[in-house]
Structure 1
């Protein structure tokens, strides 16, 4: 059996030996045996566990990666699979959300891009409600949720919806019809405001798409690393304490 030092494991990933020891302490690596001198003795199984843990981080995040490794070392394979399933479920929901927001942005760009410059006059709450075929109470509800932030006429105190407000209301209307909750819509609209318009948001959505793709590929890589680690533990035989069972 090939033995490894903490420095050997650390060097492969460009991390410190203290980080390796911390990962063992936290249960992300199996407990190492000790030499008579007290130094830790690591094996290829420890190296594989470290590869698996570090591969899980970009796929599922630090917290879930740690939960998965601890569950593996308790032999709780079903708990591992539940965590993995939840991660895939979140990724699928993020993909659905991205598709809906992209569709909404494309819709706004196609239908209102040219008309906005020709119809830039401010609208009252009644006019905007009529434009969207909703009630004024609905718009006030959206305002309360942080989706809309209209100015007020200094003379009358009435709400004034300018071009950006109309854009936000149209985007909210599209997402609301798609079944999204108000708090989710508020987050999307805030992103539009921060980006400065739908053009910048479209570029942000492309970046989001790249991140989701990278996460999906990271899940593939993590699955391969975890499977390799389990194979090594299976080969260790029944005498391996607290080893995961498949």
Structure 2
């Protein structure tokens, strides 16, 4: 099964919040220094930019949280508009539209699931099978926000496809490709945790031991494929995985 797809295992419910877990990493927001944009693709309609881990996709509330990928891009491309987001700790490819019409067209592509995405993650434990799907409905864990949780009664449908790339017996980890068929908040992180394989370095969903294995969330938006909103030709971009 290919997991490079448009947005068969047992599951466990969302873990309880551990004592001492930071509910919102913005309290310690320290974005990486701006040393120039890492542009993977650009034309007169759209940009595809590599976002570093630790940088917000869009500005947060207050001057302290203004620094973001969107604000950095807009210093050079004043007409650039955000189309979708990556979690602050996630690195990789993010699409921005150049102008209002491009924003409408690209937003429609995302809403209609015409954008193909592949993420790479390093997860805890060695996965027993080579591929599978996780279909667990998700909703905000309101008292513990920004955490999300599995909720069979009120959650929104969410589907993730995964495929093993390599297993590391020495470090008890598995490298996987992940394809989010839907685009729920924290979907990949919650889904992998819920099947017993939290993403290494995850400050919200991994155990203290798994968090301590890396100084960042080991999740990277590695590949995008979408029809160009103006020409219809496919744009296919791959970003090297930094871990």
TM over 0.5: no
| TM-score computed with the length of structure 2 as normaliser | 0.19
- Of Structure 1 and Structure 2, which has the larger fraction of its residues in strand? 2
- Of Structure 1 and Structure 2, which has the larger fraction of its residues in helix? 1
Task: Please tell me whether Structure 1 or Structure 2 has the larger radius of gyration of its CA atoms.
Answer: 1
